[in-house]
Amino acid sequence: MLWLCIQLPKLPLEALTRAHRAGDTVPLAVTQSNLVIEANLAAGNHNIEPGLSIATACAYCAELQLLERDSEREEQLLRQLAQWAYSFTPVVSPRSAEQSKSQQDNNPACLYLELSGSLKAHGGLAPLLLQLGKELHKMRVTHFMGLGHSPSAAHLLSQLPEHRQWLAETGTAPSPQQWRQWISFAPSKLLDCSNKAIAKLYASGIKRVSQLLAIPLSEVGNRFGRNFIDYLARLNGTRPDPVASYQPAPEFHSELFFPSPLDNSEQLLFPAGRLVRELCRQLQRRQLYSPQLCWVLNFGSRGTQEVNVALSRPLFDPQRLIALTKLQLERVELPEPVQALGLKCQQLRPLEAQSLREDFFDEGSTLHDTYQLIDKLKARLGHQALSGVTLKESYLPEQAWASADSLTLQSRQRGHQLAPVSAPRPSWLLSRPDKIHQRDHRLFYDGELQLLQGPERIDGYWWQHHRHARDYYIARSEQGSLYWVFQDLTSEEWYLHGVYS
């Protein structure tokens, strides 16, 4: 087993400011019960650091922006990161920040990843660690890592500067002896236990883990309790160290929060691009695709609005997805400033080799162009503005066709098995029959109509309540137009139903 612990020390700040562009220089501080708990770089330049009271911090820097800590958003970001990590390894365990009543006792959130099973797929440990670090950086998430034979050991080592430096330099897995050595050299304040217990350790003169391990376990147990012994055993590797494994739903959900709401849909494109890139990286690794993107514009207390972008085929090119999103967002009138932008893809589907092959080798680029065009048209005109037609089996002329999804363009194999009637049918059908005026047994529609052919009797559904009995004729108008007209046999009224155009 090879466990990686990724510590996320600045999650409270990043959950609120990840949407910012790099180089944003507004000093920001996250506060909780009147204390600063995290500050960004710009605020740090004004000597604002965790632990200051709000009053002091504001005195240091007048234009400091204060943000209330939002645990819910932190949880959400942690879940998003677990989902991201899951695309690297199937064994992922997120651990949220533990907030106890005393402010000092605050363990940052972290992620545990079991790596031994996925080394081969990523070309070894060093490239994998590099990739993880690069993507976290792209997502603007501050982090540091530690490797260990158990989650507890990895957690401890991730806090040890020597280990981190060694990891960055060599990028290889250390031997078990090396691990034990590091652990025993570690200062006991790094142990994953309450501040109270650590204070007790220091009071007894135990400054290094090695000193603690030298004491017989029974004595340690008497002083610090069974849980502590258990923890030491897990740290040592003498006892299994189980962590709750994370099982992601087959969906993608990520959100960016804007501390200062955006009131212009154009400004949404930059954060949208960031979300789309996150989506594409994860989908590609998990061999999934999404048939649609669902953008959630969050107006805070004033509700949300969804904007959908339908895709007719697996698409992983962030540029194209953003172009399609842009077409949709351009048409959105923002009723309120947007506080957060979310991207939700709920029906991720496994990528079949067949669909890819069709895309790249079959028929070459025309099919590719077709999908691209349909996506574009759907994005701007809306799904309902596109349609196709198919045949349907029915006696009634108005039911002999059906509006089809434009996606039937994809299914080239499924031809129409239905054969149409052999009688000449008009190329246009009126959406509802238009009444023809009748005078002295003559028919008038833009002038007098002359019947050329007929009747063709269509008498269907006589067993139903509404009997449809009609005699159809081909008629010619004075201007030479050919019409498809019928007489309703029950009411004896005449109607225009189609045009031989």
Partner 1 sequence: MQNNQLSEPSEKQPLQQLLSRPDIWQLASQQRQLRTGISTGYRGLDALLSNRGWPRGATSELLLDKGGIGEISLILPTLAEMTRQNRMVVLIAPPHIPYAPALVQAGVRLEKLLILHPRGQRDQLWAAEQSLQSGACGALVSWQGKENPADKDLRRLQIAAREGDCLHFHFRPGSCASAPSPASLRLQLRSDGEQLAIQLLKQLNGRSGQRVHLPRSPNLTRRDQPLH
Q: Does 33 bind partner 1 (CB under 8 A)?
A: no
10 Å CB burial of residue 494 (0-12, 13-18, 19+) is buried
Q: Among 58, 220, 332, 409, which residue interacts with partner 1 (rule: CB under 8 A)?
A: 409
Range 288-347, binding partner 1 (CB under 8 A): none
Kindly state the smallest distance separating residue 365's Cβ from partner 1, in Å: 8
Range 197-236, binding partner 1 (CB under 8 A): none
Q: Are strands 349-350 and 401-404 parallel, antiparallel or unpaired?
A: unpaired
Q: Does 65 bind partner 1 (CB under 8 A)?
A: no
Q: Among 251, 300, 424, 490, which residue interacts with partner 1 (rule: CB under 8 A)?
A: 424
**Are residues 498 and 430 in contact, defined by beta-carbon separation less than 8 angstroms?**
yes
Q: In terms of CB distance, is 263 or 393 closer to partner 1?
A: 393
Kindly state the smallest distance separating residue 376's Cβ from partner 1, in Å: 6
**Are residues 3 and 149 in contact, defined by beta-carbon separation less than 8 angstroms?**
yes
Kindly state the smallest distance separating residue 348's Cβ from partner 1, in Å: 27
Q: Among 402, 437, 438, 457, which residue interacts with partner 1 (rule: CB under 8 A)?
A: 402
Q: Among 211, 292, 477, 488, which residue interacts with partner 1 (rule: CB under 8 A)?
A: 477
Which amino acid is present at 395?
Y
- Residue 267, both tokens: 């400004």
**Are residues 32 and 13 in contact, defined by beta-carbon separation less than 8 angstroms?**
no
Q: Among 1, 229, 233, 429, which residue interacts with partner 1 (rule: CB under 8 A)?
A: 429
Q: Which range in 66-74, 170-178, 348-356, 402-410 contacts partner 1 by CB under 8 A? A: 402-410
**Are residues 6 and 131 in contact, defined by beta-carbon separation less than 8 angstroms?**
no
Q: Are strands 252-262 and 338-345 parallel, antiparallel or unpaired?
A: antiparallel
Q: Which range in 71-79, 121-129, 255-263, 423-431 contacts partner 1 by CB under 8 A? A: 423-431
**Are residues 351 and 314 in contact, defined by beta-carbon separation less than 8 angstroms?**
yes
Q: Does 364 bind partner 1 (CB under 8 A)?
A: no
221: Cβ contacts below 8 Å, ≥ 6 apart: 228, 229
Angle (CA) 22-23-29 rounded to 5° is 95
Q: What is the largest CA-CA distance in the chain?
A: 118
Q: Does 417 bind partner 1 (CB under 8 A)?
A: no
Q: Among 185, 202, 395, 428, which residue interacts with partner 1 (rule: CB under 8 A)?
A: 428
Q: What is the 3-state secondary structure (H, E, C) of 198-223?
A: HHHHHHCCCCEHHHHHHCCHHHHHHH
Q: Which range in 31-39, 195-203, 260-268, 363-371 contacts partner 1 by CB under 8 A? A: 363-371
What are 308's strand-pairing partners? 294
Q: Does 366 bind partner 1 (CB under 8 A)?
A: yes
| DSSP secondary structure code for residue 101 in this structure | S
Q: In terms of CB distance, is 116 or 406 closer to partner 1?
A: 406
- Residue 348, both tokens: 């991720």
Q: Can you give the binding site for partner 1, defined by CB under 8 A?
A: 363, 365-366, 369-370, 372-374, 376-377, 380-381, 384-392, 397, 400-402, 404, 406, 408-409, 411-412, 414-416, 419-422, 424-431, 446, 451-455, 473-474, 476-477, 479-483, 498-501
